[in-house]
Chains A and B, each alone.
Chain A
Amino acid sequence: MIRFTDVHKSFGSLEVLKGIDAEVAKGETVCLIGPSGSGKSTLLRCVNGLEDYQQGEIAIEGARVDAHAPSIHQIRTQVAMVFQRFNLFPHRTALENVMEGPLHVLGEPKAEVRDRAEDHLRRVGLADKMNAYPASLSGGQQQRVAIARALAMRPRAILMDEPTSALDPETVGDVLSVMADLAHEHMTMLVVTHEIQFAREAADRVLFLDGGCIVEQGPAADVLTSPQHPRTQDFLRRVTHPV
């Protein structure tokens, strides 16, 4: 579904991704973990062309992702993104946020889009917040609207960049449970997260990124319970037992 082949990316002289080889299969949830600055966000942003890369290839169902090609708009309608800071449109209600893409980008009929958007908001537990503006919602509620907005595009895959790390602890659970539901329904997802517990329960596979390289990858249970590489071991020790 999403295939990375020897992907290199630099910001000026700083090489951030140093030859990434990986794949996310259809219907699979893959968690991307690793220390701060290791290039997780950058890798994710390359997938939908928010960043470009200099070498190698990222392909989505065989189609090359090129941030500067006209095809990027089409690709973005198929690969949705959920941001750490939600990035809801503040001048539109929750429902309008969810309807925005299908209605104004895909040009689908309004009545149908509205019905579907309401369904998506109901399934993330926000039936009573459809007409609320983002500013009046809690962080957890905003992030669930953002997930509904991503789902409304009927994407082939969803990218999430630390979707719970800007949230108050008490609202993290609601968002994680929506994400876990999606994983169980075999939505294809690539999720950057520090929630090791979530990764253990919901992810099929885990990629551990360090210093721009994938140091270790494999089934979630293996990588998270018996990591092979010392850097993975060290990282997991630090996130599960913070000093």
Chain B
Amino acid sequence: MAPLLDRVQDYLPLLTQGLWLTVAVTILALVLASALGLVWAILRTSGRRYLSGPARFVVEFLRGIPILVMLFYIYFVLPELGIDLTAFQAGVIGLALIYSCYIGETFRGGIEAVDRGQTEAAKSIGMRHGKMMRRVVLPQAIRIALPPYGNNMVMLLKDSSQVSVISVAELTMQGKMLASSTFDNMTVFTLVAALYLCLTIPLNMVMRQVERRMGAAR
């Protein structure tokens, strides 16, 4: 076998390609999941049963499905119903649907943790529900929800590896292919793990910084 450094140099271009795809999948899924999660949280805390009931049902439903099954369903079953998606699209949508539940619960926790005195003060100056959420509750809920949201982000980044099962060529997929063509499992997967850590460790550090800033701004 070639010397270690040469092999690393051989593998890195493909793995970096995968890394970028991992980043793309994660960011797109995160944006979608956060938007959808916010919708779930707002519906569930609306105090109106015809809104909170269905939202709760959908969340429990989605949450009960394993990510892999969700991905298979979107990628293999939807085409039979006339909805054709690329593997990349299917991966992003599947992850986003599942994570919208976790993120929605995180946001809901934040909203419910805002002091009741705040909503009473907002109401007492005549605010309606929508404006009260936007101007009083959500700004405070976001601060409360930030640490668990950071965890959601890291989890999502790691779970993005699951989209390899529908052949999205992200980091894990690239690793698997390289390993099976070179039989150099140890080097390849060590590199793969290291590349994930290159993302997760800085992400954790950034989250901690942001938390500290937000804490200080109060």
Contacts and interface: CB of A to CB of B under 8 A. Distances in A.
Interface of A: 48-50, 73-74, 76-77, 80-81, 83, 85, 87-91, 100-101, 104-106, 133, 135, 149, 153
Interface string B101-121: 000000000000001011011
B218 A91 contact: yes
B140 interface: yes
Contacts of B123: 48-50, 76
A100 B125 CA distance: 9
Contacts, number: 60
Contacts of A49: 123
A91 B125 contact: no
Given A81-B121, A87-B115, 19 more contacts: A48-B124, A49-B123, A74-B126, A76-B123, A76-B124, A76-B125, A76-B126, A83-B121, A88-B121, A89-B121, A89-B136, A90-B140, A91-B218, A101-B125, A101-B126, A101-B127, A104-B135, A133-B218, A135-B218
Contacts of B131: 104-105
A91 B127 CA distance: 17
The residue among A80, A90, A153 with the most chain B CB atoms within 10 A of its own CB is A90
Interface of B: 115, 117-118, 120-128, 131, 135-136, 139-140, 143, 218
Contacts of B128: 73
Which 3 residue pairs spanning A and B have beta carbons closest together?
A101-B125, A77-B126, A87-B121
Contacts of B125: 76-77, 80, 100-101, 105, 149, 153
A83 B120 contact: yes
A218 B120 CA distance: 31
25 contacts: A50-B124, A73-B127, A73-B128, A77-B125, A77-B126, A80-B124, A80-B125, A81-B120, A81-B121, A83-B124, A85-B117, A87-B117, A87-B118, A88-B121, A89-B136, A91-B139, A91-B140, A91-B143, A100-B135, A101-B127, A104-B127, A105-B126, A149-B125, A153-B125, A153-B126
Nearest to A78: B126
A87 B122 CA distance: 9
Contacts of B120: 50, 81, 83, 87
A190 B55 CA distance: 42
A89 B127 contact: no
Nearest to B134: A104
B117 A83 contact: yes
A50 B126 CA distance: 11
A85 B120 CA distance: 11
B113 to A, nearest CB: 13
The residue among B115, B122, B139 with the most chain A CB atoms within 10 A of its own CB is B122
A91 B136 CA distance: 8
A74 to B, nearest CB: 7
B101 to A, nearest CB: 28
A163 to B, nearest CB: 13
Nearest to A89: B136
B150 to A, nearest CB: 20
Nearest to B142: A91
A81 B127 CA distance: 13
A90 B136 CA distance: 9
Nearest to B127: A105
A44 to B, nearest CB: 11
